[in-house]
Chain A
Amino acid sequence: AQRVTQPEKLLSVFKGAPVELKCNYSYSGSPELFWYVQYSRQRLQLLLRHISRESIKGFTADLNKGETSFHLKKPFAQEEDSAMYYCALMDNQGGKLIFGQGTELSVKP
């Protein structure tokens, strides 16, 4: 079964500390993985996708097929990073997204 697991509901760090938001997936085939972010009172928006190998707002994520993980990392967290983060897997039949339950990141001053 296709599934995305985000084990942490809440992650709280201080400004300037490193951040790692965990994401594990279950999928048969080559997965397409994404991180979406939802800032307070804003719509869900794409943060980054693994096929682009990009760094957005200092965040990076590496696909580890051996560990079936796609953890999101940032070396120095900023207060404006506080938001809900969702890891998502794209189904290769039609392109629907399968989301994890989300991790709330709280960056304290």
Chain B
Amino acid sequence: GAGVSQSPRYKVAKRGQDVALRCDPISGHVSLFWYQQALGQGPEFLTYFQNEAQLDKSGLPSDRFFAERPEGSVSTLKIQRTQQEDSAVYLCASSLSGGAGNTIYFGEGSWLTVV
């Protein structure tokens, strides 16, 4: 596709419900990132994949958050037993490879509201 694609664009979940957010990176991009952006804040790093390997998950806020990229392409961010503080925009981004010389491209985000 032309860019990073995320679905669903909008999700309303009841507290305690599990959600899954999908990311389709740009074809051929090795690196894939997930960020969380709360209202009025900048994006905060959650986790990073290089191909199918999850190299950094230091930003995941709790063990309720889980991400995978089993075939090195599409990635899914799963949030179990959602809480109100999970309400945020979840941004996926990809780049050809790591390093400052490669542009990181962002998706439009998945807006999660937990009620």
Contacts and interface: CB of A to CB of B under 8 A. Distances in A.
B100 A44 contact: no
Interface string A77-109: 000000000101010011111111110000000
A99 B43 contact: yes
A78 to B, nearest CB: 23
Nearest to B41: A101
Given A94-B98, A97-B104, A44 B43 contact: yes
A97 B47 CA distance: 11
Contact of B101 (A51, A88, A96, A97): A51
B33 interface: yes
Contact of B99 (A6, A42, A95, A100): A95
A88 B104 CA distance: 12
A11 interface: no
> What range describes how many residues of B lie at the interface?
20 to 34
B25 interface: no
A43 B100 contact: no
Given A43-B108, A43-B109, A95 B98 contact: yes
A102 B99 CA distance: 23
A74 B14 CA distance: 45
Given A43-B3, A43-B109, A99 B44 contact: yes
Interface of B: 3-4, 31, 33, 35, 40-45, 48, 50, 55-56, 59, 91, 95, 98-109
Nearest to B108: A43
Nearest to B6: A43
A55 interface: no
A93 B48 CA distance: 11
Contact of B56 (A43, A96, A99): A96
A9 B40 CA distance: 9
B3 to A, nearest CB: 7
Contact of B45 (A46, A51, A97): A97
B99 to A, nearest CB: 6
